[in-house]
Amino acid sequence: MNTLDDTSGQAGVSSLPGTAGNALESVLFPAIEPYRSGTLPVDRLHTLYWEECGNPDGEPVLFLHGGPGGGLSPRHRRFFDPAHYRIVLFDQRGAGQSTPLGEVRDNTTPLLVDDIEQLREMLGIQRWLVFGGSWGATLALAYGERHPERCSGFILRGVFLCDQEEIDWFMTGMGKFFPEHHAAFAAEVLPFEPGDLLNAYAERLFGNDMDAMLRAARAWSLYESRCAYLHPQSVAGDSDAACLAIARLEAHYFLNAGFMEPQALLNNLERICHLPACIVQGRYDMICPPLTAMRVHANWPGSRLDIVGDAGHAASEPGIAAALVRATEQFRVNGRFG
């Protein structure tokens, strides 16, 4: 594994060359299927779907999906060498194949952290590498800060801390760069005059009019998808069920500031800063701008921040995917990211 040149002037920050010419499929490991899967009831309401892939006797790694509400994709298994890693993935409360889909009751960050511990104990894992992007990075930090003794390291992408500044950016700030997409997003719930977008969406997403709920969920999901990539993508749109999960859960967590005190994740980084960490960040990430990743890196001595020069937010962008695979391979070989 080649050492990355530090071109930024900031210790531990690397600017990675572009990979626009690389097809995503050539970057990831080959497609694999789970060798084991199941469900885990975590309370009287929620049951989680989980799966394991790769080497049953390998080094454990936990994949945390984004959203909240994003759910798993078969592609998520492919950031890791299956001959080395015991890859654990699960759908968080209300997401993917977990039930009930889109449910916001009993759905908070502390409860998701408890779920991870239940899953770890059920699987008999002592420590694992924690891998998460966007909201998955939020949850990775929240979990690690509560259970540092259960973590061997962190790979974080497009870091999001669920601070009010970041929530406001998502709801309104991105419109400075995607004005036409933001106009369509706003028009769905505020067709005549400006107002509080988040609460206007909440009225529909948590109301009793199912048609209005679905229209709002589709508009929310489409807005996010349109803003996620550096290069414009053909966005076919998620299924109605996926749109409802993403929109309802993201709005629920935004309305409640992620169920965390302000700056809690930054303030508690000292609990995990002795552990190796690699942060992968798209230079042109409009959903989770690089400033947050830089803040985390600046407060985490020894962490490495890889800024991908030709990428936005999505893990499926080739430059982001290549950097994530590079990180998992470096940890496989060295147990760190130096």
In the chain, what's the furthest Cα-to-Cα distance? Answer: 59
Among 14, 134, 221, 303, the active-site one is: 134
β-sheet bridge partners, residue 156 = 132, 279
Instruction: Examine the residue annotation and report whether 37 is marked as an active-site residue of this protein.
Output: no
Among 65, 181, 252, 313, the active-site one is: 313
301: which 2 tokens?
Answer: 């001595």
**Which of these, 239, 268, 236, 280, lies nearest to 14 by C-alpha position?**
280
Instruction: Examine the residue annotation and report whether 221 is marked as an active-site residue of this protein.
Output: no
Among 163, 238, 285, 310, the active-site one is: 285
104: which 2 tokens?
Answer: 């916001």
Cα 231 from chain centroid (whole Å): 20
**Which of these, 166, 139, 158, lies nearest to 307 by C-alpha position?**
158
Residue 259 near residue 108, CB atoms below 8 Å: yes
Q: What is each CA distance from 313 to 223, 281, 284, 307, in whole angstroms?
A: 13, 8, 7, 11
Instruction: Examine the residue annotation and report whether 65 is marked as an active-site residue of this protein.
Output: no
By annotation, the residues acting in catalysis are 134, 285, 313
